[in-house]
Amino acid sequence: MKKEKSRGTRLGYMRAGYVYPCTETTIRVDQAYQSLSLPVHSPNSTMADREINVLIFGGCGFVGRNLVQYIVENDLAAHVRVVDKVPPQVAWLNKSHQKVFNDYRVEFKSANLINPASCKNAFSDMQFHYVFNCASETKLGQTDPVYEEGVYQVGKNCMTAAASCNAWRYIELSTGQMYSSEKTCHKEDDKVEPWTIIDKYKHKVEEELSEIDLSYNILRPGIIYGIGDKSGLGARIIIAGLYKYLGEKMTLFWSKDLFMNTVHVRDVCRALWHLATIEKDGGIYNLVDEGKTTQGILTEALSEVFSINHDYWGNVASSLCKVDMNTVVDEINDKHLAPWAKLCNQNGVVNTPLSPYIHKEQLHNKHLYLSTDKIKLTGFEVSVPEITADYIKEIVKDYIDMNMFPKSLLS
C-alpha cells in the first residue's frame, strides 16, 4: 500500500530556476509568485520561460530519443539533460534525432547507472524538476543476475537519486506485460503476473517507488513502435521483409486472434509528459492505442508493406512446439540469419543493429490486451489511433535512410 505523503515534503519550490525547501516562511514570502501545487501545463504551452529542467535516464534509447525530440520541438523545457551509458554518436540516431540532440537546450552526460554515485552525479550543477526513467536492460536471452542489476538496481538507483535531489515528479517507463495471459482486457489493479524476468524486475521497481519519498507516476505501455524502433516490432519487420526475399509464405505461431496491443512512440512520449505535469501522483497507467491490435492486424499490415502471403500454425500445432521450444527457435534463427546476411551484403548494408534473431520469450501465447480507461480519465487521448502499413513503412524508410536495412525490400 502506497504511503500518503504531504506534497510539500516532496516538491521543490521553484523561482528563477532555483528550488527552495517548502517551508512555511518560504510560502508566505513567495505565495504571490507561485503556488505550491505541481504546475499543470498544456503540451502546447511554452515552458522554457518557466525554467523547467528535465532529466532523462536512458535518453539515447528508442523512447528516450523520441522524448527528447518531443520536449525540444514543443519547447516544453529550458534544459534537457540526457543521461545514458551509450553516447549519442554511437546510438544510431537518425538525422532528425541528431538535430535535436545538437539543440542548445540538450546536454548529454555519460553515466553507469548501475553505480549509485554515478546516478547521483547525474543531478550535479542543476535542479531538475521532471525526471523520466527510460533506462533498463532490454536485451532478451540473458541471465537473471543481469536483469536484476540492469533493470531493478538501475531503477532503484535512479529513483533514489531523484528523491535525494528533490525532483518535482519522477516518471517510470514500465511495461504492459504485467498481467495474466487470459484473453481479457486488463486494468491496472488486476493481479500482477509478469511475463518475463525483465518484467519481474520492472514490477519490483514499481514496488520500490511506492516506498520512497518521491512524487511519481508509472506508465505501462503495450508494444511500442515508431521511428527508432529496433526491438518492439523490429524483428517482425525484418522477418516479414526476409520472406519477400525468400519468395515464401510467412507462417506464424498461434493464431490471428492473439492480442498484441500497440502504441506509437509519439503517444508514449506525450503520455510521459502528461503524467509528469498532471496533479495526481502515485498512479499506474496502462497505455495502448484504440486499434485493439492483434497478431492478425499486425501481420496484415506487414504483409501489405512487403507484398507477402502469411498463415498461422494454429494453437494446437504451436502448443506441440512448446515441448522443445529451444530447438524450434534455433531452427527458425538458422533459417533467417544466413539470408539476412546475404541480403544486407547485396544491398551494401555493411553495419546494422537490426537482426531477425528471435528469442523464445517472443513466441509466448500471451494476450497483451490492456484497458486505458484510467489514463483517459486524466484527460489523455492518443493521437495515433491504430497501427497501419503506412506507419510501418515510415519505420522501414528510416532504416533505409540510415543504411541499416536492404532498400530492395521496399522496391
Confidence of residue 318 (pLDDT cuts 50, 70, 90): confident
| Rounded mean pLDDT, 99-117 | 97
Q: What is the pLDDT of residue 16?
A: 31
pLDDT tens, position by position, 3-40: 434 343 344 333 233 333 333 322 222 332 233 344 44
Closest-CA residue to 161 (of 133, 199, 203): 133
Same domain, 169 and 111: yes
For 6-120, strand residue ranges (E) read: 13-15, 18-20, 53-57, 79-84, 106-110
Same domain, 195 and 299: no
Same domain, 199 and 348: no
Q: Per-residue b/e over 203-233, b at no fewer than 16 CB within 10 Å? A: bebbeebeebebbbbbbbbbbbbbbbbbbbb
Confidence of residue 43 (pLDDT cuts 50, 70, 90): very low
- Structural domain includes residue 325: yes
- The answer to whether 54 and 130 are in contact (CB under 8 A) is yes
pLDDT tens, position by position, 183-233: 899 999 999 999 999 999 999 999 999 999 999 999 999 999 999 999 889
Domain containing 314: what range?
234-259+292-367+387-410
**Is residue 125 classed as helix, strand or coil in its secondary structure?**
coil
Share the mean pLDDT of the chain: 88
Q: What is the pLDDT of residue 232?
A: 86
d(CA 64, CA 100): 12
Q: What is the pLDDT of residue 6?
A: 37
Q: What is the pLDDT of residue 41?
A: 45
Same domain, 183 and 239: no
- Structural domain includes residue 178: yes
Share above pLDDT 90 across residues of the chain, in percent, rounded to a whole number: 80
| Rounded mean pLDDT, 331-356 | 96
Same domain, 350 and 279: no
- Structural domain includes residue 378: no
Kindly report the CATH number assigned to the domain that includes residue 210: 3.40.50.720
Same domain, 161 and 100: yes
Share above pLDDT 70 across residues of the chain, in percent, rounded to a whole number: 88
pLDDT-wise least confident of 5-14, 174-183, 243-252, 347-356? 5-14
Same domain, 244 and 363: yes
Confidence of residue 316 (pLDDT cuts 50, 70, 90): confident
| Rounded mean pLDDT, 119-134 | 96
Q: What is the pLDDT of residue 50?
A: 63
- The answer to whether 167 and 52 are in contact (CB under 8 A) is no
Confidence of residue 319 (pLDDT cuts 50, 70, 90): confident
- Structural domain includes residue 20: yes
- The answer to whether 299 and 252 are in contact (CB under 8 A) is yes
Q: What is the pLDDT of residue 48?
A: 52
Same domain, 179 and 281: yes
Same domain, 191 and 299: no
Same domain, 270 and 359: no
The grid coordinates of residue 390 equal 503506412
Same domain, 397 and 271: no
Residue 318 vs residue 53, higher pLDDT: 53
- Structural domain includes residue 374: no
Q: Which amino acid, residue 249?
A: K
DSSP state of 260: B
- Structural domain includes residue 13: yes
Residue 135 pLDDT more than 50? yes
- Structural domain includes residue 377: no
- Structural domain includes residue 334: yes
| Residue 360 buriedness (CB in 10 A; 0-12 / 13-18 / 19+) | middle
pTM of the model: 0.88
Counting Cα atoms < 13 Å in the Cβ hemisphere of 271 gives: 34
Same domain, 140 and 187: yes
Residue 351 pLDDT more than 50? yes
The grid coordinates of residue 328 equal 524450434
Q: How many domains does the chain have?
A: 2
Confidence of residue 2 (pLDDT cuts 50, 70, 90): very low
